[in-house]
Chains A and B, each alone.
Chain A
Amino acid sequence: MAKARAIIKRRKAIENIRKITRTMELIATNRFKKALNRATEAAAYTRKIAELVAELGRTDQEVSHPLLIAREPVARSLILVLTSNRGLAGGYNSNVLRAATGRYLDDQTGGIEPKLEVAGKRGIGYYRFRKITPQETYTQFEDKPQYSEVEVLADRYIRMYLTGAIDRLDVAYTEFISSSRQAAVVRTLLPVSGLDLGSQPAAKGAEPALEKAEPLAYEFLPDARSILEEIVPVSLKVRLFKCFLDAAVSEQIARMVAMGGATKNADDLAKSLSRQYNRARQNQITRDLADIVGAAAALE
């Protein structure tokens, strides 16, 4: 009977774990929907800015802005790594960290002095283990990154770039391509490469092309060029914010998938344990019966 009872105990434990993973999956699904909504709402701004840039671009202005100028050779770079604060998200964090560390080591061997900034406890823990000290660490970004928080970072990076403290800014994060596909990428945000914000695919398929048959004769206040120059830092901030939003959405998806898999495994395991238990119980009964029959035969 001892073996059957041990199996029951194990099955009970697995059922408890299944309850937890199932709940986590549901929570992640819920958060994913919310995060996706936020990302979709945020896309309106990007779209409008792109529209403005298109209108302004018609005026054939030469845009010059210090953030647009790439500096060669790059002597100092900064890598911002976006990871999650919590684990149990499958390969989400390890993929980002692998991409980021790859770039970090490439920079080091290429004679560039890389700095590291890490958001998320998982990444912080990883770099502590690797004995690489990040310049800054952030843990305040959860599944709802605030624009005002991201803007502070962006302003600091802009200042660092303008004063020459960094020559390049890379962000390692998980890009949200579709709800079934996310990829860990390292994107260069500074210097700003062109103003077309459409370089990153929008959250929900391609936006309708901004083509208007009749170009309107706009009045520009103060003038097209200075507006375009003003848009440069804004576009950087929006791109950085988009990275954070993407990372938040991808994290929830990764957790959803991981927990869905764990729930399924727990189901399978519980099933096979049930089978084992039944067999063990049947054996036990057979053995007991044989004992009884044997005992009865001995008494006669």
Chain B
Amino acid sequence: MAKSIDPDFAGESKGSSKPGDKRIHLVVVTPERTVLDTLVDFVAIPLFDGEAGILPGRAPLIGRLGFGELRGRVGDTVDRYFVDGGFAQIRDDSATILTARAIPAKDVDVAAAEEDLRALESTKATTELASADRDRGLARARGLIRIARNKG
């Protein structure tokens, strides 16, 4: 799997030598249902301005999410999800991710995302509102494509 050559994975595996000490309770909730409710050793969340890695014992945090990859690692297995904006709350070794959509990385539809990207790039936003919409759409499409490519 690609994770062994993932550049930032090396940094994540710090805690792997002594697993099971302390874990993070990762909960991913969408408006429809609770997608994920597990214990993980490490979780990487896509904040609005970049990725943040969370290990057990993290100070409380509330953050806005961007469009990107959510990774939860248990031992040597990594679960990857595409997260469609939203919010994250970290407290007492539990991470709650509130998002409109959480798509498992393998289910991401690259072709559709690329099409969206092309369509958005060719449109011109004339008002402030449309421009914000366009930026949002672009960020989303790029996030989707990035995560799809990442699986190698």
Contact = CB atoms under 8 A, between A and B. Distances in A.
A55 B89 contact: yes
A212 to B, nearest CB: 10
B91 A216 contact: yes
B34 A44 contact: yes
Given A49-B98, A55-B62, A241 B129 contact: no
A263 to B, nearest CB: 33
Interface residues of A, number: 34
Contacts of A177: none
Nearest to A55: B62
Contacts of B129: 159, 162-163
Contacts of A217: 59-60
Given A221-B48, A221-B62, A222-B64, A146 B32 contact: yes
B29 A227 contact: no
Contacts of A44: 29, 33-34
A238 B89 CA distance: 18
Interface string B112-134: 00000000000000000100010
Contact of B64 (A41, A146, A221): A221
Contacts of B98: 45, 48-49, 52
A199 interface: no
A226 interface: yes
Interface in A24-56: 38, 41-42, 44-45, 48-49, 51-52, 55-56
B34 A41 contact: yes
A268 interface: no
Q: Interface size for chain B: under 10, 10 to 19, 20 to 34, or 35 or more residues?
A: 20 to 34
A237 B30 CA distance: 12
A202 interface: no
Contact of B29 (A45, A146, A222): A45
B41 to A, nearest CB: 22
B138 interface: no
Given A52-B98, A218-B60, A227-B62, A38 B33 contact: yes
B20 interface: no
Contacts of B32: 38, 41-42, 45, 146-147
A230 interface: yes
Interface in B78-93: 86-87, 89, 91
B5 interface: no
A221 B63 CA distance: 4
Contacts of A237: 31, 100
A53 B64 CA distance: 13
A257 interface: no
10 nearest A-B residue pairs (beta carbon): A221-B63, A41-B33, A216-B60, A218-B60, A219-B61, A147-B31, A45-B31, A147-B32, A45-B29, A218-B62
Interface of B: 29-34, 47-49, 52, 59-64, 86-87, 89, 91, 96, 98, 100-101, 129, 133
Interface of A: 38, 41-42, 44-45, 48-49, 51-52, 55-56, 146-148, 151, 159, 162-163, 216-222, 224, 226-227, 230-231, 234, 237-238, 241
20 contacts: A38-B32, A42-B31, A42-B33, A44-B33, A48-B89, A48-B98, A55-B89, A56-B62, A147-B31, A148-B101, A218-B61, A219-B61, A219-B63, A221-B48, A221-B61, A222-B49, A227-B87, A230-B87, A231-B87, A234-B100
